[in-house]
Structure formats: structure tokens, C-alpha cells
Amino acid sequence: MEVHETAFVTSAFRAMHVLLSKDEFAHLWLNDRVQHWADTYLSTVTGEESAAHSMRNRYFLDSIHRLFKDGNIEYLINFGCGFSMYPYLLPHGLKHIEIDKPEVIRHKDQKTELWEDQGILPLRNIVRIPCDFSENYEKELIGKINDIKKNSPCFILLEGVLFFLTREEMLRLFQLFNTLQKQGDRIGSVSFRAKDTESKAFALLLDFMKKENPHGTEEARYQTVEEKFYKSLPGYELVDQQDFFSLSKSYQHQPSATQDMIINEQFYQLQKTRP
């Protein structure tokens, strides 16, 4: 399974818990192959992952909706957007910039335009930009985004991306965010701490990734990010932090697995404190 193909699987997870994820359109990405991947993952790694991804979607969906309703943001900029459906789940007036690998953007454009034409999806203000975070992309991408949003307040979402990036690639992204944003803007980020990788479920995740790796049997590479990175990020303040367990309480989800069989991602919100 390629990295970008995991976007199909997370869509399948959200579709399994529509009341929890509030994603009524996730099912559009499903087919027999995607469903097989999702079912295999849940039976091989942990059955709680479908609920975990649904709560992650719900947390950011609720947060972004509230910020837009209160007049604090005008744009959602989704870095590594995959096949998330935030534009169609959020109010019409919010504008969107979605960024991902060229093959993801091509497929998403093709399918969503078809579904919009068929009346399956509502029309939304979305600009999608192909980009590879491993290349020298910053100058061109900053120019494109600033031409679109001007000085409008924004929420930058980095969901399910940092796990696959190198440390250098991550630092370049956050430096780019600082350039794009103004005081009061927010970042939503998802990552694992080192201690989150100590569970049995995480070890099973790595085994699954190794077996599904189309490039051989090399060990799965991943990145962890400690809380101190977010707390010490220049120009930003950490304003909220959640995880699987806190969101389970908030959304009244009762886990069926033991704590060791849960993959516990951390969800952060940062607010820019100075220009």
C-alpha cells in the first residue's frame, strides 16, 4: 500500500461511524479494494482505529466550524488533504485550499467534480494545489496561497502527515506556516509522541506497514513529535491538546479494546501570537 493509498482507508474508517465522524460523504470513496484494506487493517492491527479516525475528523470539524461561526477564520488550508471531505461538511461561506501529492489532487478533482455535477456533493469554493513536501516547493507554494487568500485569517490543518515526513521536512512546513499566517490564525496538527509508540497496537501497525510495503520488506519509517515542540514553537501558543481517550469522553465513545490495543494519536491546536 502506497502512502497516498492510506487516504482511502481513512475514508473507509470515517464511513463506518458516520454518527461519530459526522462525515456523510466518506462512503463515496469506498470500493471493494478499499473495504478489503480497511477490514484487513482492523482485524490485523486494532479494531479501534475506525473510531479513532472518526473522532479525529469530528474534533477538527467541530473546531473549524466553531471558529468560522465566530468570525475567526475565512480559509481552511489543508496540507495533505487526502480524501477528507471537510469542504462539503462545513458551511458554504468558508473558503478552502487543499494541498497534496499530484496523483491525489488529480483523482480528488476528477471525482468531486463528477459528484458535484451529479448533485451528490454541494458546490464549494475550493482551490487544490499539487505539491510534494520532499521537494523545494516553498517559494512557489507561498506565492500561490497568498495570491488566493491575501490577508484573510486561516486555519492550517496538518492531519495524518507528520508520521510520514522527516524531521527536516516537518520543520520546513512549520516555517512555511509562520510565513503564511498572521496573528490570531491557527494550526491543527496530529502526531505521535515517543511514548505513544510503545503499545502493542502500534507494534502491530508497524508490522502491517512492513507487510503492505510495495517496495520490499524494509522496516517502516515514521516520525514522533514531542509536546515540547508545539509548546516552544516560536510565535505560537498551544491552545488545545486532545487524544483518543479525551475525545472518547467528549464524544461518548466506549472503547472495546484494552489501552495497549489502542493507537493513541495526539491532536494539537496552535494560535499565532505575533505577526
Tell me what pLDDT residue 1 has.
Answer: 41
Domains along the chain with CATH numbers: 3-272 (3.40.50.150)
For 140-180, write each residue's pLDDT tens digit.
999 999 999 999 999 999 998 999 999 999 999 999 999 99
Residue 210 banded pLDDT, cuts 50, 70, 90: confident
Name the amino acid, one letter, at 235: G
pLDDT at 218: 55
Q: What is the pTM of this model?
A: 0.95
Rounded Cα gap, residues 51 and 153, in angstroms: 31
Res 213: pLDDT: 67
- pLDDT 10s digits, 47-74: 999 999 999 999 999 999 999 999 999 9
Weakest mean pLDDT among 99-103, 216-220, 241-245, 254-258: 216-220
Give φ, ψ of 163 to 5 degrees: -55, -35
pLDDT band, residue 76 (cuts 50/70/90)? very high
Q: pLDDT value at position 214?
A: 58
| pLDDT tens by residue, 97-142 | 999 999 999 999 999 999 999 999 999 999 999 999 988 899 999 9
Strand 126-130 with 236-243, pairing: unpaired
